[in-house]
Structures are given as C-alpha cells and as structure tokens.
Amino acid sequence: MRILAIETSADETGVALIEASGSDEKDFQYKILGQALLSQAELHTRYGGIFPNLAKREHGRNLVPVLMEALRLADDLNEGVHDVTEETISSLEPLLTREHEMYTYLSGYFRAYGMPHIDAIAVTVGPGLEPALWVGINFVRALQHAWAPKREIPIVGVNHLEGHILVAQVDSKIQNAASAPPVDCKLRTVNYPAMALLVSGGHTELVLQEDWMKYKTIGATRDDAAGEAFDKTARLMNLPYPGGPQISALAKTARIKRLPRTYELPRPMLKDESYDFSFSGLKTAVKKIVDEHKHPTDDERESLARETEDAIVEVLVAKTMRAVEEHGAKTLVVGGGVSANSHLREQFAVACGDSVEVLFPPTEYATDNAVMIALAGYFKAAKKEFTAPSDLHANGNLRLV
C-alpha cells in the first residue's frame, strides 16, 4: 500500500510517500519512496517560539512545493498527465477560500502533473496549532476532491503523538530517499507492556502501552513542555529558536571543559508522587540568574546551559524510570523533538541498563517529519480506519487515550 502523508502541526511543512505491507513485527515492511521537509524555524526566531498565523501562512505557501519535491524524489510527479479538468480546478476555489495562495499553487500543479500512485492519504489532525493543522486538512481535502473523478482516495486522520511513538519503533536504518535509494525497514521488537515518553515543543507525556497501538496517558506536563523549557531558557540566554539544540551544544562544551557547577536550578516535581511534570519554574529561575549576571563569560553561559539540560533530563529520566518500574514495562520508547538530545539518550541508556530495552527514533526523525505520519497512517489504513473529508477536524488538544 502506498501512503502519501502530510504534516503541518507546528512549524515544519512535511510530505512523505511510503510503501508498506504487513501488520506487525513479523511481517511489517516499509520503505520511504520520497519525503521533503521545509522548516520555518528561522522565521519564528524573532518571536522565540511559533507564531500561529505566520505558521498557517507559510504552510499554505509551502505545501505544494514540498509535495512536488517529495513526489519528484519518489519518481511519481507524472509530468504532462492531465487527470484534473479545469472544471474540477474551479470547483476547488470554495474549498480553499482561506488558503487562496495555496489554491493558486495547486491549480498550477494540477494543470502540469497527473495524480501520483497512492492508495491513501494520511494527514495530522492534532495535537498542534489549530490554524496550522487546518491548512494540512484543507490541502488533503482539495487533493482528494480533485483526484476523485479519476479515483477516490481514502483519508486517514493521524494523531501526531502516535507518529512520534511509531517512528521510534521502526528499524533505525531509515534512509532519506533524497540521498540514498529507498531501503526496506521493519518494526523493532517491542515487549509489552511498554512505556513511551513523548517530549516535544508542545508535549511532555508518559504513555503506557499495554499492547501494540494501545495507549493510555498516565502523566503530562502541567505547564511548559520539556522542549518549551529548552526554547524559553534559550531565548532568555539570547540563543535562537529552536533552543534545544543550542542549549545542548553549549552544555556539551561545558562537559568537555569539565566546568564547575556555577548555578543550581530546581528539579521540578522530582519527588512528586504523580507522573506529571512542570517545567515553567525553570525559566523563572533561569531569568533570575540571567538578570543578575548581565555580562556572563562564555564559561558561565556554558555552565548555565549544562545546568538547564541536567535539570530537564534528570526529572524526565527519574520520573520515567519510576513509571517503567511501577508498571513493569519491558520496553521504553522515547520520542518527540527532545529525544534528539544526546545527553538525554545517554542518561536513559544508563538508567535502563540491561533490564529494560530503550528505543529512540533515528535522530533525523526525532523532530517533526511526515514519515512518522505516513507510518501511523499506514497502520490505520490497514485497519480501514478512514475518515470522510468533511469529518476531518483539527483538534489542537488531541490526546492519546
């Protein structure tokens, strides 16, 4: 089955085309035929975080070029084939009244290229920024509508968090078709019950997996997400958005230099009985330090970055390991943008030792991408869990139940 996937929940516009077969660890196989990703991070830098209306506008502009790039890499752009009539193109206009720029791009695309060889379209419906999610949904509705006279393509709505979990559960040798021919990948063995920690710019959640694709959220952040804590402290330290990789790089230097511990930040909710997190106190503590030290030396900045990373990672590792023990989890899955953090990976590897297997996504698939949406979309499509285009709705607070 060939799945075309669209991701627009935050500030990355992603499109991927994968081919997959089978349904579980024994027989599931897939390959990435083509994928493209366009980050808006630079545009959002001056806001220190994602500015929703800007994200919406950019997705509207970028989706068609990103789709074309993914299809070109998959050798499925089909130039000169006329599958969509002028009448159908005109009938798309009312569907895209709020995305006029996208309508213009799409009209050009339909006039120049035929329909790709796909069996289903997957789209992120939440959680995320609703204005941004709606652009992806309207885009998918338009594609479905335009191609329908030739062939009805079913649509699957995907939970972004499930994508982050599943991409950590597939073979780590995923390659990008942009630089290498597609390789067949499989699922890695997950022993249940499993625990998943999702750490991204918008989420910090502990999810119990009693079985394959069965989820129960047992803990979440009460305020800022782990990635947000990185982003906000980075901003206080005048580092560009997204802050996670920036803080991480300075922290690494501090460790190499073996700098002394100059600052002490709190470890919020470390001893709390629940599986919830709270990271907003960290930025307040960092702000106080930054305000008191107007002209920090490089060593002081690096030391503060290391203390920030240590504080976040220590809390994440300690609470997750307690959840792993108390639920008898045999596999730990860590996903979401913050799972790209090398210190976090090292600390989890140490904490899990030989007793619990820990899975991370390939680093380049830790942050948002459309391959993870294609994977989650495939498993839903295989179960025929389709949604009619008119029933697709963006849900900014969608949960994994």
Site string for Zn ion, 333-372 (x = CB under 5 A): -----------------------------------x----
Q: What is the DSSP letter of 189?
A: P
- Binding partner of 248, given Zn ion, ligand KG4, none, CB within 5-8 angstroms per partner class: ligand KG4
277 near ligand KG4, rule: CB under 6 A: no
245 near ligand KG4, rule: CB under 6 A: yes
Among 336, 361, 377, 389, binds ligand KG4 (CB under 6 A): 336
d(CA 323, CA 74): 41
Q: Is 33 exposed, middle or buried (0-12, 13-18, 19+ CB in 10 A)?
A: buried
3-class SS of residue 170: strand
Output the six-digit token pair for 328. 């008898």
Among 139, 230, 275, 360, binds ligand KG4 (CB under 6 A): 230
Among 34, 52, 163, 243, binds ligand KG4 (CB under 6 A): 243
Residues sharing a CB contact under 8 Å with residue 271, sequence separation 6 or more, in sequence order: none
| Closest C-alpha among 267, 289, 291, 268 to residue 278 | 268
d(CA 127, CA 397): 5
- Binding partner of 340, given Zn ion, ligand KG4, none, CB within 5-8 angstroms per partner class: ligand KG4
Angle at which helices 226-236 and 298-326 pack, to 10 degrees? Answer: 170
Nearer to ligand KG4, 138 or 200 (CB): 200
196 near ligand KG4, rule: CB under 6 A: no
202 near ligand KG4, rule: CB under 6 A: yes
- Give how far Cα 224 sits from Cα of 20, 37, 118, 260, Å: 36, 26, 39, 28
Q: Which stretch binds ligand KG4 (CB under 6 A): 27-35, 52-60, 277-285, 332-340?
A: 332-340
User: Closest distance between Zn ion and the C-beta of residue 80, in Å?
Assistant: 37
338 near ligand KG4, rule: CB under 6 A: yes
Would you say 207 and 52 are in contact if contact means Cβ atoms under 8 Å apart? no
> What DSSP element (H or E) covers 18?
strand 12-21
What are the start-end ranges of the E strands in 22-166?
29-39, 120-126, 155-159
Chain residues 352-391 in contact with ligand KG4, contact rule CB under 6 A: 367-368
Number of residues that bind ligand KG4 (CB under 6 A): 19
User: Closest distance between ligand KG4 and the C-beta of residue 327, in Å?
Assistant: 24
231 near ligand KG4, rule: CB under 6 A: yes
Chain residues 177-206 in contact with Zn ion, contact rule CB under 5 A: 200
Among 337, 361, 362, 389, binds ligand KG4 (CB under 6 A): 337
Would you say 187 and 371 are in contact if contact means Cβ atoms under 8 Å apart? no
Would you say 28 and 187 are in contact if contact means Cβ atoms under 8 Å apart? yes
Among 3, 10, 143, 166, binds ligand KG4 (CB under 6 A): 10
User: Closest distance between Zn ion and the C-beta of residue 285, in Å?
Assistant: 26
Q: Which stretch binds ligand KG4 (CB under 6 A): 91-99, 194-202, 204-212, 380-388?
A: 194-202
7 near Zn ion, rule: CB under 5 A: no
Q: What is the CA radius of gyration of the chain?
A: 22
What strands, in cross-sheet order, belong to the sheet with 120-126? 29-39, 12-21, 2-7, 120-126, 155-159
Binding site for ligand KG4 (CB under 6 A): 10, 200-202, 227, 230-231, 242-245, 248, 336-338, 340-341, 367-368
Binding site for Zn ion (CB under 5 A): 200, 368
